[in-house]
């Protein structure tokens, strides 16, 4: 993992656990530091293919004890984040009101399967 030196080993360790060796072009924390709060780390990569590969392997982090609470997500615009939050809220309400159903989000649309 060559590229920009990151202040934290965390992005490198997470990517090593996924057997990826991407070139990191930028690494920074967001949000001001607060007592006991974990702040997200934003990592920019040089290659879109590497990004897609990492996002596909992100589920594997759930199986590790060290990184079970680490989540990888693509960058979203403010509009996309608002829409996603609204969709997840609707999904949560559906699951609460109809617990017997199985719901999926496909292309921003909630489907009952």
Residues of the chain with pLDDT under 50: 1-5
Instruction: Provide the pLDDT for residue 89.
Output: 92
Angle (CA) 89-110-73 rounded to 5° is: 65
Query: Tokens 């009101």 correspond to what residue?
Result: 97
Instruction: Provide the pLDDT for residue 38.
Output: 77
**Cα dihedral angle (31, 33, 38, 44), rounded to 10 degrees?**
50
Instruction: Provide the pLDDT for residue 10.
Output: 61
Instruction: Provide the pLDDT for residue 70.
Output: 81
Token duo for residue 23: 């070139």
- pTM for this entry: 0.61
pLDDT tens for 43-75 read 888 888 888 888 888 888 888 888 888 888 888
Instruction: Provide the pLDDT for residue 9.
Output: 61
């Amino acid at each position: 993992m060559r590229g920009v030196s990151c202040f934290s080993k965390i992005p490198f360790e997470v990517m090593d656990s996924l057997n990826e060796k991407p070139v990191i072009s930028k690494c920074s924390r967001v949000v001001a530091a607060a007592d006991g709060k974990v702040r997200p780390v934003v990592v920019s990569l040089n290659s879109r293919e590497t990004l897609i590969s990492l996002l596909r392997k992100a589920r594997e982090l759930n199986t590790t004890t060290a990184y079970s609470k680490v989540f990888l997500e693509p960058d979203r615009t403010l509009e996309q984040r608002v829409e996603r939050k609204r969709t997840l809220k609707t999904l949560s309400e559906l699951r609460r009101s109809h617990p017997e159903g199985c719901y999926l989000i496909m292309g921003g649309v909630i489907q009952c399967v």
